Structure 1
Amino acid sequence: MDADTFREWLADGAELAVIDIRPSEEVGYASPLFATNLPADRIEVEIDRYVPRAAVRTVLVDGGDGVAQFVATRLAAAGRTDVHVLAGGIPEWTRNGTDDLPTFDVPGKDFSLGIRDERGTPVVTAAELKSLKDQSADVVVIDTRTVPEFTAGHVPGAVSVPGAELLLRFADVVPSPDTHVVVSCAGLPRAIIGAQTLIDSGVPNKVSYLHDGTRAWKEENLELETGATAVYGPVGDAALEVAAQRVEAIAADDEFPRIDVETAQAWAADPDRTTYLLDVRTPEEFEQAHLPGSITSEGGQLLGVSYRTIAVRGARVVLIDDLTGARAAVVAHWLQRRGFDIAVLLHDFDAAA
């Protein structure tokens, strides 16, 4: 298919999966299409996770080397009969630059900057944060990336609390309302969304995001701390009570269908509509117990890089959480503003176990 037809497909609102089949190291952080990266050597084994329905329109994009045509033939033989190849691949798509290209999703950075500009999210620079720490100010840095990212390098003294866990664990990590909370990530998106999540939920603390996160810290010639030095722990009873209040506040203007397990299973089996069953709890909780057919998808990652999991634009997305609903509330609050069709499923995993 040519680029003009592809542009029309990106805008028509019907279900569409776009898979960038280049090697992950070549794609880097994000495809120019903000498509799901599923390398050619893995796609036959893993495509069912990312494109659950075989009948979905699917476009494969390669590096202009013709690999996509070979992959499309293999997928067609396996029963995926609506697979197409973008002529010329990424080189042809980006031939005139990338500034005005339509994308498969709203890039996380663009979305977070829009939220920042709309809400006026407070900010501190790395130099300002260093000054606060030097003055022994009552300040705590919360790093909203995944634990492995945190472990690789973070602002000294920071606490690891992935983005979707913020409301659930905030009272344990920040017991005093007088503490200045600075939310950090590697750059901007997860820090801005994390800070605004806390503000929207009504925490009494002063909340800011760290401009450009750990990147800015290094650019100030400051050393990062490594290792799992301070990671969130079990949620205390008092923190659960506070989290319930915060969830009620952030979800006050949100309306999402609340469904049960039977409905979720029926949706997942629908031959005419794609449904993702995404468990937004921690990977450790998922490993202990989860619903059949669901996949683990840390909520904080969904907020920043949804395209890495949700390959089918126009699909239904069911967010699965425990009965507190704190993670699902945060993720739903932001994803629906990016155009996703969201439903929430709260399940008593303890009782099930």
Structure 2
Amino acid sequence: MSTSSIEPSTAAANTIDTDTLRRWLADGAELAVLDIRPSEVVGYASPLFATNLPAERVAAEIDRFVPRPVVRTVLVDAGDGAADALAAELAAAGRTNVHVLAGGIPEWTRAGTDGLPTFDIPGQDFSLGIRDERATPVVTAAELKTLKDEGADVVVIDTRTVPEFTAGHVPGAVGVPGAELLLRFADVVPSPDTHIVVSCAGLPRAIIGAQTLIDAGVPNKVSYLHDGTKAWKQENLELETGATALYGPVDDAARERAAARVRAISAGDEFPRIDVATAHAWAADPGRTTYLLDVRTPEEFDQGHLPGSINAEGGQLLGVSYRTIAVRGARVVLIDDPTAARASVVAHWLQRRGFEIAVLLHDFATAQS
């Protein structure tokens, strides 16, 4: 039976049907959608592409994902009723605007997934759109193998996280997470004659990484590896494991070289620059949700960060923003060091996905000295 036919007398007051969720996804007002199924079931987040916060973690972690208790929040379960008890628990704790999608994911997908609206734009869809719009150059795994066998001047840059890179990558690749590309580029690729091939596990981060370098005006030939490590294995080629080649520390000379790339990629972008006081005032605004996202590496964040900020490694934020940004319509403040290399890359792409972006640059080195 369709949830839209549930009689008011039998449905809980905080239960909504699929038609209501469709309207809410389109109305432009702040909205949080939490998929409370186990992470191993949700996987890459299809079909809703909403924030996955398993039921057992919701009560302890919801304040991070949905900072303002008054925000409309929809809990989506596996159709097993788990969301009902959780909604009641949250209501008792003061979150009275929490709703349950009747029937959960099974009801949401009952008529199939074609044409279903999503909470966030899937990274695959977004990257393919960029590829088609910009005609991003591509090489296949077989072509890359031939280039390597022939001794061509080619460098493979893997734009995934360090743990993903360590688990398996194209032999000889260098691990440089996506948002770090402009900051680390000069050290990883010192010659303008080197052919750069950007890789990930599949397509999204490779395409965005390659187009980032192209938009930043690097002089090199740049391509992405079609289907990344997946394609490499499909060619019956072995992956290399371990932290075999990772980006290194950044010196002042590298920052100066990165600054030119930042100016190039930001030439057509306009984002407000705010200070720390403004960021904290926004975060405390009772009428609007604001995320303070530090897009530097986890190691840098651990060494020092602004109070109230959370670490959202830039490359991951580009590919799977819904894992961090659970409230549609929220303001997003990207925090970086004065070089702005990470924030500029993230802002360059996130604003194309409809996010309201501001940038906060902070001299962490001086603050810690």
What interval of TM-score do these two structures reach, taking the shorter chain for normalisation? over 0.9
Q: What is the identity, as a one-letter code, of the residue corresponding to 2:278? A: T
Aligned to 1:97: 112
Q: Does 1:146 align with 2:161?
A: yes
Distance 2:220 2:50 in 1: 37
Distance 2:50 2:92 in 1: 23
Alignment partner of 1:137: what SS? Answer: coil
Alignment partner of 1:327: what SS? Answer: helix
Aligned to 1:122: 137
Q: What is the identity, as a one-letter code, of the residue corresponding to 1:119? A: R
Aligned to 1:188: 203
Alignment length (residue pairs): 353
1:238 CA displacement: 2.5
**Alignment of structure 1 residues 2-81 onto 2, 5 Å:** 2-81=17-96
Identity of aligned residues (%): 84
1:99 CA displacement: 1.9
Aligned equivalent of 2:341, options 326, 329, 333: 326
Alignment partner of 2:357: what SS? Answer: strand
Aligned to 1:205: 220
Residues 179-216 of structure 1, C-alpha deviations (whole Å, 9 max, x = no match): 00000000000000000000000000000000000000
Aligned to 1:174: 189
**Alignment of structure 1 residues 280-291 onto 2, 5 Å:** 280-291=295-306
TM-score where L is the length of structure 2: 0.95
Alignment partner of 1:318: what SS? Answer: strand
Q: Name structure 2 gaps, 5 residues minimum.
A: 1-15
**Alignment of structure 1 residues 249-328 onto 2, 5 Å:** 249-328=264-343
Q: Pairwise CA RMSD of aligned residues?
A: 0.5
1:241 CA displacement: 1.3
Aligned to 2:353: 338
Distance 1:253 1:10 in 2: 29
Alignment partner of 1:85: what SS? Answer: strand
Alignment partner of 1:41: what SS? Answer: helix
TM-score where L is the length of structure 1: 0.99
CA contact (8 A) 1:172 1:236 kept: no
Who wins on radius of gyration, i.e. which is larger? 2
Distance 1:204 1:238 in 2: 18
Distance 1:100 1:352 in 2: 50
1:97 CA displacement: 1.3
Q: What is the identity, as a one-letter code, of the residue corresponding to 1:58? A: T
CA contact (8 A) 1:124 1:210 kept: yes
Q: What is the identity, as a one-letter code, of the residue corresponding to 2:160? A: R
Residues 265-323 of structure 1, C-alpha deviations (whole Å, 9 max, x = no match): 00000011000000000000000000000000000001100000000000000000000
Q: What is the identity, as a one-letter code, of the residue corresponding to 1:317? A: V
Q: What is the identity, as a one-letter code, of the residue corresponding to 2:30? A: E
CA contact (8 A) 1:20 1:31 kept: no
Q: What is the identity, as a one-letter code, of the residue corresponding to 2:249? A: P
Distance 1:305 1:98 in 2: 20
